[in-house]
Amino acid sequence: MTSDPKRWDKAHGLCMRPYTIDTWDFTNDPLSGSNRSVILTEPMAIMHGDNSGVFQAMNQLAWINERFGNAAKASEWRSRAEALKANMFKYLWNGTFFCHQFPLNCEPLDAHEKERLSLSMAYALNRGILTLEQKRAAVAEYKARHKTTKGFSEWFTIDPAYSPAFKGYKPGQYVNGALSPFTAGELARGAFECGEEAYGWDILDRVAKMVKRDGGKLFFLYDPLTGEPQGHGPSAWGAAAILAAVDEGLAGVQDLDAQYRAIRFAPRWAVTPFKEGRYLTGYEASHKTVDVRWIFTDKGFRYHLRSPAQSVQAHLLVPSGKTPKSLRVNNAETPFTISTIGASQYVDVVVTPRGGIADFEVLY
């Protein structure tokens, strides 16, 4: 990517693409027709989602190199990631979120690019590129637009849409302003991580009601005004994002290594109406599973965790209005710390499970 003259803009140190809507593969230029290859003489721009994705990939390469003992290569990848990040904030950050497109050899399509939220902003919440404050600012923008949008939700592919049309698609049609479950999933997952857990749950609850309405089906896109399914694209795209929001955000099971040898356990069931329950997840191919049972009472809460983990970084959301007094892990009194994210409090502790068992009991 960074060595391809059709993909890398040396002047700004960022990835570039034809002037599309976010990750989509067609432009508004009538001369480009159905040709979806990169032609440098057509309108080109820098889209933030390409760059936050490459930033994440660079850090993943750093992790892999470090894991296999190549510290020098890991350091190189991290340095490259930080340079790309600096350029993103220099050219694309508007103080609240990443603006949609930064035109290179052309004029903006309209006057709204700096205020235009695109679907990759929800992805950016989960790519490690934002500080906690920046995540909270972006999530606050989504919450604000939920209150003012004429649509049924804030899960925008793009907002505001291009008017009168983009490549024949009018506002609200297809990628030009339709609403998407992949935005919903990424937004919910990001909300769970930045002190907006109730909002994350609200998104998942709204998605669940929509799926129930549609006979148990989740669709690719939805009409912003009617909420009816729109388009015939891959519904699995949105389903994967929703499942990730449930698995890593709500249930809080994050694999920090491979096959759950080390996990971060950050459940947020405290913001749901479910006072007790069970959650099971895992990898089918390797037969590795994580099994969680929980219960909340007036005196405290318990999580019974069964997993292959040799190390568990527990980050346990405390119900609103409660103050944790003590923690027992596997029935032994255990020191803990409290972290505050927004208005939310978490009990934090790192434990070594015994025989795959880690039982947490927090008393108020």
Tell me the pLDDT of the chain (364 aa) as tens digits: 678 888 999 999 999 999 999 999 899 987 766 677 788 888 999 999 999 999 999 999 999 999 999 999 999 999 999 999 999 999 999 999 999 999 999 999 999 999 999 999 999 999 999 999 999 999 999 999 999 999 899 999 999 999 999 999 999 999 999 999 999 999 999 999 999 999 999 999 999 999 999 999 999 999 999 999 987 789 999 999 999 999 999 999 999 999 999 999 999 999 999 999 999 999 999 999 999 999 999 999 999 999 999 999 999 999 999 999 999 999 999 999 999 999 999 999 999 998 999 999 999 9
CATH 2.60.420.10 in the chain: give the residue spans.
258-363
| Residue 89 φ/ψ, nearest 5 degrees | -75, -25
CATH of region 258-363: 2.60.420.10
Q: Please count the other Cβ atoms lying within 10 Å of the Cβ belonging to residue 250.
A: 22
**Backbone angle region of 208, left / alpha / beta, with phi > 0 → left and psi within -120 to 50 → alpha:** alpha
C-alpha closest to that of 192 among 232, 127, 248 = 248
C-alpha closest to that of 179 among 227, 129, 247 = 227
Q: Please count the other Cβ atoms lying within 10 Å of the Cβ belonging to residue 362.
A: 23
